[in-house]
Amino acid sequence: MGVGDVNVRFSPRELLDLGAAWVALSVAFSILLIPGLQLVSVPEAVQTFGLSFVTVGVAFLLHELAHKVVAIRFGKIAEFRADYGMLFVAIMGAAIGFLFAAPGAVYHQGRSTLKQNGLIALAGPVTNLVLAAMFAPLAFLASGFLASIGSLGLTINLFLAAFNMVPFGPLDGSTVKEWSTPVFVAVFVPSAALALWALFGLGLF
């Protein structure tokens, strides 16, 4: 499909990996949302999975696609590859009440400058901030299931933006900081503050 002047294509393997990661993360988060893995009715289980699918799943999917689109915009070859071992760990960890998710990553090939690598890395967290703003009206203005979608969508996207901007190891923040410390600070500080506000101040999650 075309995105502006960017021709974004997906191989069958990449579509499989994206779908598997989306579903596995949604399942893992659904398990985490069920206190003590208590038995729930089928409608409750479906609703919980649906909630995770359109919040956590979408947050992950669009984060990764943002990396891919920007990398392609800079003339690179980019594809997402799932880490099936870590997806299994995510589901098993959720079963004992702890979710550690490293579902995979977008790998890109081709020469690029430090700035281009920084912008590719930055695209993911910025996308999560945009998604958080889109979920916010539902969180504060809607009711019932729509409010739950808004609350979880707002919180998980703020958390992902802040977490991925941590300047450590393979996280996006390391690459952004290597390119530009001012840009890193300008994105990381408000992201971290907003994530803490959502997690603890609002008690949304």
Q: For position 205, what pLDDT does the model report?
A: 47
pLDDT band at 16 (very low <50, low <70, confident <90, very high): very high
73 token code pair: 């915009």
| Residues in CB range of 25: below 8 A, 6 or more apart | 52, 56, 57, 60, 87, 90, 101, 103
Q: For position 119, what pLDDT does the model report?
A: 97
pTM value surpassing 0.95: no
pLDDT tens sequence across 43-95? 888 899 999 999 999 999 999 999 999 999 999 999 999 999 999 999 998 88
Q: For position 1, what pLDDT does the model report?
A: 39
Segment 191-203 mean pLDDT? 83
46 token code pair: 């479906």
Does the pLDDT value for residue 37 go beyond 80? Answer: no
Q: Which of 14, 44, 64, 79 is catalytic?
A: 64
Is residue 64 annotated as a catalytic residue, yes or no? yes
